[in-house]
Amino acid sequence: MRSDPGAIINQISLRNGHPGEGLSHTSFSNDLCPRPLSDNKFKDLSFYVVRDDLLHPVLNGNKARKLDAVMPILQENSVTDVVTCGGCQSAHAAAVAVACSERGIRPHLLLRGEQPEISTGYNLISMLYGDITYIPRSEYAKRDEMLSMHASLVGGQDGSVIFTIVLDAGTGTTAVGLAIGAVCLGLQKKEKVLISDFKRICEPKYQASALNGLDDGMVQWVDRIYPRRFGRVKKGEAEMCRHIARQTGILLDPIYTLAAWEHAVCLCRPEAEDRSNVIMLHTGGTLNMFGLAQRYKPHFQV
């Protein structure tokens, strides 16, 4: 478990810019000594960023939080090896490799597809910390069988104040985890989540049952401001990440955290409905920029 579960909080102030003009016409400033949330009565245009991306030098913020709960269980049960899987640039696989290695547990990573010519980003971290096996896509499609077979090879047959929280989500597990935490603490809040594939993959009845009937509208799935296919970078998004990084010192990635930033900006404007103190949870993901820069070279040329 982390000795200090807290995270740095930055306050981002907006200048210029109007609704509908996009972020390129908006200037940002980063107040490293933010005013207390209780003192910010919507007098200025600003929102807060919880810097979970700084929890660990390598792990993603949300991955660090999830593994912080899992790793002690593995240690208590004297687990020696962990087998997991993911894509070639899987943030999950890299996080598991780092977290396991830090605790003396051997990580075995099954990565989909072929070994890249040049290892970079999360793939490089996975290679440095874990034991990688590249799995053909046809075999990877049968994930349960694949994991079971490789686990057997490793371990043998026997096995051994009103706030609006904004985050981007792929599977939605981070959002559900936050909501469950709020329920356990008795916080009757609502959490806005930018969702990509979760609503398409999971039927409404499964979304509702994810909280075992405790949802009560706490998690509100909202569409991205700019719809996209997962993993695709659109024109201008890399430049927007540079724009924000230069003005605030906060590095975003085009796939996830930029979308959360865009929504946080909209929610803190005067014309926003149900105005409240807006908190964006920065979940990390910046190592993904290395892989994106290779895949989408024109977007990253100065």
| Residues involved in catalysis | 90
Whole-number Å distance between alpha carbons of 272 and 269: 6
- Checking DSSP bridges between strand 46-50 and strand 106-112, what pairing results, if any? unpaired
Q: Where are the beta strands (DSSP E) in 45-117?
A: 46-50, 81-86, 106-112
Q: Between the CA of residue 285 and those of 5, 65, 252, 290, 297, what are the distances in Å?
A: 19, 14, 8, 10, 19
Whole-number Å distance between alpha carbons of 223 and 197: 10
Q: Any idea what DSSP says for residue 98?
A: H
CA dihedral 284, 289, 295, 301 (to 10 degrees): 150
CA 115 to the chain's CA centroid: 25
